[in-house]
Structure 1
Amino acid sequence: MFNLSLIEHTFRLPPHLLSLSLDKAIRHELEKLFLDKVIANLGLCVSVYDIRRIDGGFIFPGDGAPTYTVECRLLVFRPFVGEIIDAKLKEFDKDGLRLSMGFFDDIYIPFHLLPHPSRFEPDLENGNRFRWIWEYREANGENEADQASGTVYPIDEIGETIRFRVQSVNYPSIPLEQPKDSKPFAPMVITGSLDNDGLGPISWWE
């Protein structure tokens, strides 16, 4: 889920940081550049782990700030495909679920990766508020008519813990234009699946 990534970056150190020690000034600027930001094909930076090398310090003509090339390691959130992760239910609609880990909110479970068979329907006992339902049927025969009536498992509690399997991790290209009513652009999107034993709200399996 978390990985150390070695990167090299060249940047200008602002003059107002020159009163700090070089290590502190470099770390301050690295955190400003990378902390809580998604780096394409690396993941979401959650920490500047360490600084391995600092080169440079050159001041180019007409500039009042030194330029450094820094090699450092970043701690990044980058789950691998097939990994099992727990997250909280943030919202849901007819297209599926959206989950959150607190520091990362762009986790989606599309409807076709919910447990089969699932359906999106109003809850008659809760003001017709919509919810997802998984109807588990235990086969007692070869024909559908021979199967016992299904047991219903709902997904409808915002904030409940849901266990999912990572299906894919994507880094979408930044769009040139976005419609006004579109969702905010997400630089990293995790797609998950609940369609397997042990996955879904952990309350199902307790």
Structure 2
Amino acid sequence: MFVLSKLRDTLRIPPANLVLPLLDAITLEIHRLFLDKVVKDLGLCVSLYDIQSIEGGFVFPGDGAPTYTVEFQLVMFRPFPGEILVAKLKKCDKNGLVLSMGFFEDIIVPHHQLQQPSKFDENEKLWVWNYQENEMFMDLEEEVRFRVLKVRYPPIPLEQERDAQPFAPMEVIGDINSDGLGLVSWW
């Protein structure tokens, strides 16, 4: 679920941060650029793990800000396919479920990956699993155990319609169609 990723980047330290020790100024800049952001194919940046090297300190003419080449490691949230995770059910619609882990909200379980047979109850606006003639409702805010099928990094849309969902730079696609998966309260 969490992995260390090694990155190398050229960072411009704003002149206002030059009063800080160099390591603190670079840490602030890394936090500003990477923390709580998705890096394509690496995942969601959760934390700075360490800074391994700092080179440079060049000031470009007319700039007044030093530029450093920094090598560092970040703690990234990137679940791997087949991993079993637990999240809260945030939304149900005809397309399936939307789950949240608190720090990450874009977990999707498509309707064809639900326990079978399942149906969408239009009155309750919830999915219902029919298990041995019992209706097992998938209530909002319940904990759901799911298996990761894949992690997607959709391309950034050039134009977005007014009523479109907010763009998600990273989506985790999961399934609950197995024994032990689904609402934690079921098992």
If the TM-score is normalised by the length of the shorter chain, which range does it land in?
over 0.9
Deviations 1:81-105 (A, max 9, x none): 0000000011111111000000000
Q: Residues of 2 paired with 1:194 and 1:65: CA distance?
A: 52
Deviation at 1:153, TM superposition (A): 1.2
Amino acid at match of 2:142: E
Q: Residues of 2 paired with 1:41 and 1:129: CA distance?
A: 38
Deviation at 1:114, TM superposition (A): 0.3
Q: Residues of 2 paired with 1:131 and 1:73: CA distance?
A: 42
Match of 2:136 in 1: 153
Amino acid at match of 2:13: L
Match of 1:134 in 2: 129
Match of 1:147 in 2: none
Deviation at 1:151, TM superposition (A): 2.3
Q: Residues of 1 paired with 2:126 and 2:48: CA distance?
A: 41
Deviations 1:93-151 (A, max 9, x none): 111100000000000001000011100014xxxxx3222111124xxxxxxxxxxxx22
Amino acid at match of 2:16: H
The secondary structure found in structure 2 opposite 1:129 is coil
Q: Residues of 1 paired with 2:81 and 2:110: CA distance?
A: 16
- Structure 1 segments (4+ residues) deviating >3 Å: none
Amino acid at match of 1:131: L
Match of 1:15 in 2: 15
Match of 1:110 in 2: 110
Q: Residues of 2 paired with 1:183 and 1:86: CA distance?
A: 24
Deviation at 1:11, TM superposition (A): 1.8
Q: Residues 65-76 of structure 1 correspond to what in structure 2 (within 5 A)?
A: 65-76=65-76
- Does the alignment pair 1:99 with 2:99? yes
Deviation at 1:200, TM superposition (A): 0.4
Match of 1:187 in 2: 169
Q: Residues of 2 paired with 1:68 and 1:159: CA distance?
A: 46
In structure 2, stretches of 5+ residues that fail to align are none
**Superposition RMSD in Å:** 0.8
Match of 1:142 in 2: none
Q: Residues 35-46 of structure 1 correspond to what in structure 2 (within 5 A)?
A: 35-46=35-46
Q: Residues of 1 paired with 2:87 and 2:124: CA distance?
A: 23
User: Does the CA contact (< 8 Å) of 2:92 and 2:125 recur in 1?
Assistant: no
Deviations 1:30-50 (A, max 9, x none): 000000000000000010111
Q: Residues of 1 paired with 2:108 and 2:174: CA distance?
A: 6
Of the two, which has the highest radius of gyration?
1
Q: How many residues align?
A: 187
What TM-score, normalized to structure 2? 0.98
In structure 1, stretches of 5+ residues that fail to align are 123-127, 138-149
The secondary structure found in structure 1 opposite 2:30 is helix
The secondary structure found in structure 2 opposite 1:98 is strand
